[in-house]
Amino acid sequence: MLTFPNCKINLGLNILREREDGYHNLETVFYPVPLKDGLEVIREQRTENSKQLAVNSVELTTSGLTINGNSEDNLCVKAYHLLKKDFPSLPSIQMHLHKVIPMGAGLGGGSADGAFALKLLNDTFHLNLSTQKLIDYALQLGSDCPFFILNKPCFATGRGELMEVIALDLSAYQFVIINPKIHIGTGWAFGNITPKTPAQSIKNIITQPIHTWKDTLINDFEQPAIHHYPEIGFIKEKLYGQGAIYSSMTGSGSTVFGIFEKAINPKLSFPEHYFVYNTSTAQ
């Protein structure tokens, strides 16, 4: 079976306080965007001429963007092993991941892959897991993973796992996503902000007309990132200069997105190594 994990953007991101477990309480709105990877799961093919997988194992192959690190650390593989502990009859599988979403970019691509792997394994092998149970498994993979089980606009609190589906429809707009290939470590990002309670909750701000968001909808990670990496600020300025209604960094960066009216055709010129994606022109 084949599925297509999509990315997300954060519409506002407030870091409220540090928790005793070392994580942070936050509030944000997760919004799905149709920039997608491809993920396929195949039951082990046992033929006389084929190489058989080890018992109870998963073999991961990849294409597209290069994925660094050991395959055992990939969230798709971890998703398989997580389910295997509770479902010992889960067979050995082959899994292929075609990577399109930039990694370490604040787009949640790895989290999406892990969450979609859980859903795909559930459907392929008829595990009959409820949505809530899939969310519980996803949280064990990472804080952003539960969102991708629902994959609908959500107001999120806690570590990001406490979600409320909201009626937010931005389909009348186009999204432009720019990733300058700057790596911002999560530890560095959290170390450069001071948690605080905002004057107004994102949940309230997001109900206001989109043209008001520019002055009120803030990502706490953005200003420290721009101070250290001015390039991020230049991208945001360029998107506003081309007519964006709203622009912001997503997650802990370094990706910046702009929301435009569909009638606008932004003239974007960025260095060749940048990743640029426009929902209105993507195939």
Q: Does domain 173-278 have CATH number 3.30.70.890?
A: yes
pLDDT at position 16: 96
pLDDT digits (tens, 9 = 90+) for 57-75: 899 999 999 998 888 899 9
Q: How far apart are the first and last CA of the chain?
A: 22
Domain ranges (residues) in the chain: 2-165, 173-278
* Dihedral pair phi/psi, residue 85, rounded to 5°: -65, -35
Active site members: 8, 144
Gyration radius from the chain CA atoms: 20
Determine what percent of the chain falls in helix, strand and coil, rounding each to the nearest 5. 30, 30, 45
Query: If you average pLDDT over residues 46-62, what whole number do you get?
Result: 64
Beta-strand pair 58-64/6-18:
unpaired
Q: Are 110 and 103 in contact (CB under 8 A)?
A: yes
Residue 185 has pLDDT above 50, yes or no: yes
> What is the second-level CATH architecture of the domain 2-165?
2-Layer Sandwich (3.30)
Going by the DSSP 8-state scheme, the letter that residue 92 receives in this structure is: P
Q: What per-residue confidence (pLDDT) applies to 107?
A: 96
User: Region 13-26: what's the mean pLDDT?
Assistant: 92
Task: For 161-178, write each residue's pLDDT tens digit.
Answer: 899 999 999 999 999 999
Q: For the residues 234-250, what does the mean pLDDT come to? A: 97
pLDDT for 189 beyond 90: yes
Both tokens assigned to 37 = 């990877």
Nearest in space to 179 (alpha carbons), one of 120, 126, 257, 117: 257
